[in-house]
Amino acid sequence: MNNMKKVVKFGGSSLSCAAQMKKVGDIIRKDDARRYVIPSAPGKRWSDDTKVTDLLYQCYDAAARGEDIEPLIGEIRARYQEIIDGLKLKLSLDDEFAVITDLFRRQAGRDYAASRGEYLNGIVLANYLGYRFVDAADVIFFDEKGNFDSQQTHQVLRERLKTIESAVIPGFYGAMPDGSIKTFSRGGSDITGSIVARAVRADVYENWTDVSGVLVTDPHLVPNPEVIETITYRELRELSYMGATVLHEDAIFPVRKEGIPINIRNTNRPDDAGTMIVESTCRQPKYVITGIAGKKGFCAINIEKDMMNSEIGFGRRVLGVFEDHGISFEHMPSGVDTLTVVVHQSEFMEKEQSVIAGLHRAVHPDTIELEGDLALIAIVGRGMKAKKGTSGLVFSALAHARVNIKMIDQGSSEMNIIIGVRNEDFEAAVKAIYDVFITAQLGR
């Protein structure tokens, strides 16, 4: 057997029906290093279909209202039976559905309800692959407060999988100290895959989904954007923070600590290389920039005061006012006599007048001006440090697109440039930046 170990996680769209499950089986069997499999619950088969997890929530809530849940249980059972029949498996889930129905009626908890999609899919997939089924509730633990217990999980999971050559471990959930089921709040199956990869000291954690990797920018803003070949954890964090939805931080942390790379792959295009997410690399990026991401809905508070740079503690007192009002800041570009604090407009609006009054009392500014309806765009890339004129290209591209820049902020790492534009210029700005760095290089 191959000495390499890969943990492979498949999302709901990859496991929505028997045809998709067959694709997953082919992918796993093509590489015998793919020994530990983390499945999600079956997702949508078509655009207006319902995910199994949503059906489980509906069923559980109906039970809470004292309604007859047999029709909904029947609908969920039919989804799995369709997969079982399509895969020609000799498998019955009757006992599992009897337990689920009983515990729904006894109100075992919404987390229990949500987790059953992964649990049942894990049983089906393990049966199909001939792998051992390991219930996540036996190996993934939360403490009394509902926080993930990393140490206990790592010890138990490592010990349990040490003697198992290949296993299916359902994603998304674990167990509380009293044995009750608890789910991860966000990106649940991604997190489980990362935890398992750390426990078995995997060479690679493959995360299979319905896109061929991490895209340079949002496909809603730029049609068919390029795929990023290699991205570092730091670059990914910058893009995720500015709204790019790839993997949640909680899913990255366990493997990052062990130096295990993540490979984002496409179940429907298994020959595509996808995106490698790594701690560090000397590989030169294909483009100067790695990615572009952004969000709308910010507000800038511009504070002016002569000689503010000579006032010790000026910035601290300004930020203290925002802290006192429970408002976190996003960016704080400054000049000799100016300081701008950028905040989420929705957080700031209802408190704006008391914040202004607080700033007057704290630092006695000459003027305070507010500018709302701003969007922030992050241009991120490890290649920017070595390339002269990156900022100039950004500015000329935006000028050509007739977009007025309201704010510029560059980190000391020279790995990102943040620019502020009006909300209404957001889409045009992203497209202009993409065109100058990507489209121009492709010669389109």
> How far is the C-alpha of 418 from the C-alpha of 376, rounded, in Å?
7
Q: What is the pLDDT of residue 9?
A: 97
- In whole angstroms, how far apart are CA 214 and each of 1, 247, 258, 279, 441? 31, 10, 22, 16, 19
Helix (H) or strand (E) holding 371: strand 367-380
Domain ranges of the chain: 6-210, 291-442
Whether 6-210 and 291-442 share one fold: the answer is: no
Residue 410, beta-bridge partner list: 417
C-alpha dihedral (419, 421, 424, 426), degrees to nearest 10: -10
Torsion sign over Cα 414, 244, 204, 260? positive
Q: Tell me yes or no: is domain 291-442 CATH 3.40.50.2300.
A: no
Q: What is the pLDDT of residue 242?
A: 78
127: left (phi over 0), alpha (psi -120 to 50) or beta: alpha
CATH of domain 6-210: 3.40.1160.10
CB within 8 A of 289, min separation 6: which ones? Answer: 216, 379, 380, 381, 383, 384, 390, 433, 437, 438
Q: What is the pLDDT of residue 444?
A: 58
> How far is the C-alpha of 104 from the C-alpha of 71, rounded, in Å?
14
Q: Which of 198, 203, 181 is nearest to 136 (CA)?
A: 181
At 298, the amino acid letter reads F
Low-confidence ranges of the chain (pLDDT < 70): 1-2, 186-187, 246, 248-249, 411-414, 443-444
Q: What is the pLDDT of residue 412?
A: 63
C-alpha dihedral (129, 134, 136, 137), degrees to nearest 10: 140
Helix (H) or strand (E) holding 217: none
> How far is the C-alpha of 250 from the C-alpha of 160, rounded, in Å?
23
Q: What is the pLDDT of residue 182?
A: 97
Q: What is the pLDDT of residue 2?
A: 61
Residue 295, beta-bridge partner list: 376
